[in-house]
Amino acid sequence: MHAVVLVGGFGTRLRPLTLTTPKPLLPIANVRQLEHLIANLGAAGVTEVVLAIGFKPEPFLQAFPDGVCAGIPLHYAVEPEPLDTAGAIAFAARHAGVSDTFIVMNGDILCDLDLSSLVAFHKEHGAEGTLHLTPVDDPSQYGVVEINDAGWVQRFVEKPQPGETTSNVVNAGTYVLEPSVLNRIPEGERMSIERVVFPAMVADGTLAAMPTNDYWIDTGLPHTYLQSNLDLIDGTRTRILASVGAHAHVHATASITHSVIGENAIIEDGCVIIDSVVLPGAHIGSRVRLEKSLVMGTVGSDSSLLNCVIGADAQVMPNTHLIDARVPHPDEAK
Ligand code: GDD
Ligand code: MG
C-alpha cells in the first residue's frame, strides 16, 4: 500500500526554527517528526511513502540520502509550484503510479492512531474516502466535521467562522482514499482538498469518518512543538524516548529538568534548563537559565530566556534577559 505524506508547507508559525529546517525534519525527542510518522505508516503495512514536496527537496534528500526513512522506501514528488493540498496529493499519487487504496497524511501531526483500524473502517463502509477525526478544545483553526451515527460525513467546514458549526470534532489529517478521488482533481491544478474535494464528496455521500480519542497533536506552533517533545519523555504517549541525544555535551554542574537535549548540543557549567528543547547543535553558555524555550542557535553566558524561540543563526549576547521573544524576529528574518 502507498502513503502520500504532505510536506510542502512553509511552517511559518514555527519561525525562526523553520527558516533553516523544514517542519517535518525538526526532531521530536531526538527523532525527526517524519520518522515518527513513517514508522506508524510502516506498522500498518505501508510499503512505499510518497513525499509530496511543494518546494526545495534538498533538505529531505540530505536527511535520507539512501532514500529510506524508518525502513520504508521513499518516492520524491516535487511539484513544479506548490499546488495546495488536493493538487499536491494528486500530483504525488500520479507521479508514483498509485492505482489502489492509499493513505494520505499531513506531515505536521503526531498521533497514536492504529492506521489499520482506519483502513478496516474504510473498507467496511465501502467509502470513497475516510477521515480520521479527533476532538479539540478550539476547532476554529481546523477542518470541522459533522458525522451521522453510521459514520458518514454530513458537513466539512474548513476554519469555520464563530457560530458556523457546533461540532468540536475535527479532521485529524489522516485519510484513506480510493484512486477515484484523483479523478476529482484536474492535472496540474492548484486545489484544496479541505475546501473543494471533501465538500464535493460529502454532497455525493461518499466520505466516511472515524473519530478516536488516542493521542493527537498538530506540532505547527511553538507551544505545541514544545509539548510534543515533552509528551514523548513524560510517558503521555504509548512509548517513552530518551531525552538526551547522542554526543550532547552536558556539564556536570548543569541542571536539566523535564527537557530534551539534541544531538551535539553543548550545555556549559551552571545552566538551569526547565521544560525546554535544546535542538541539535545549539550552544548554551555558562549559567544560562532556559525555561519553556526552544533553542537552535547560541545563547551567551548569564542570560535567561522564558518562553523564547531562538533560530539556528541567532546569537543571544551574554547577559541578555528575554521573555516571549523570537530571535531573529520572523518579520526581520529572510
Ligand atoms: N506538497 C504540498 N504542497 N504540501 C502542502 C501544500 C502544497 O502546496 N500546502 C500545504 N501542504 C501540507 C503542509 O505541509 C501540511 O503537512 C499539510 O499540507 C496541511 O497544511 P497546513 O498548512 O498544516 O494546514 P492546517 O494545519 O492549517 O490544516 C490542516 O490540518 C488540520 C489538522 O492539523 C487541514 O487538513 C485541517 O482540515 C486539519 O484539521
Ligand atoms: Mg498543520
pLDDT at 290: 96
As a whole number, the mean pLDDT across the chain is 93
Catalytic residue among 23, 56, 123, 159: 159
Structural domain spans, the chain? 2-218, 242-327
CATH architecture classification, 242-327: 3 Solenoid (2.160)
Q: Residues of the chain with pLDDT > 70: what percent?
A: 99
pLDDT in tens, 318-333: 999 999 999 998 876 5
pLDDT in tens, 273-319: 999 999 999 999 999 999 999 999 999 999 999 999 999 999 999 99
Name the 3-class secondary structure at 211.
strand
CATH superfamily to which 2-218 belongs: Spore Coat Polysaccharide Biosynthesis Protein SpsA; Chain A (3.90.550.10)
Would the CB of 218 count as within 6 Å of ligand 1? yes
User: Between 33-43 and 115-125, two packed helices, what is the crossing angle to 10 degrees?
Assistant: 50
pLDDT in tens, 132-159: 999 999 899 999 999 999 999 999 999 9
Does 23 participate in catalysis according to the annotation?
no
Ligand 1 pocket test: pick from 15, 78, 85, 185 the residue with the most ligand atoms within 8 Å of its Cβ: 85
Torsion of CA 273, 278, 283, 285, to 10 degrees: -10
Query: Whole-angstrom Cα distance, residue 176 to residue 182?
Result: 13
- Surface-to-core class of residue 99, CB atoms within 10 Å of its CB (0-12 exposed, 13-18 middle, 19+ buried): exposed
pLDDT category, 180, cuts 50, 70, 90?
A: very high
CA of 9 to the centre of ligand 2 (A): 8
Would the CB of 181 count as within 6 Å of ligand 1? no
Is residue 282 within 8 Å of residue 234, measured between CB atoms? no
Query: Whole-angstrom Cα distance, residue 285 to residue 56?
Result: 33
pLDDT (mean) for 22-41: 93
Is residue 8 within 8 Å of residue 2, measured between CB atoms? no
Ligand 1 atom with minimal separation from the 7 CA:
14
Would the CB of 6 count as within 6 Å of ligand 1? yes
Would the CB of 170 count as within 6 Å of ligand 1? yes
Structure-block grid coordinates of residue 279: 535542538
pLDDT at 234: 85
pTM of the model: 0.89
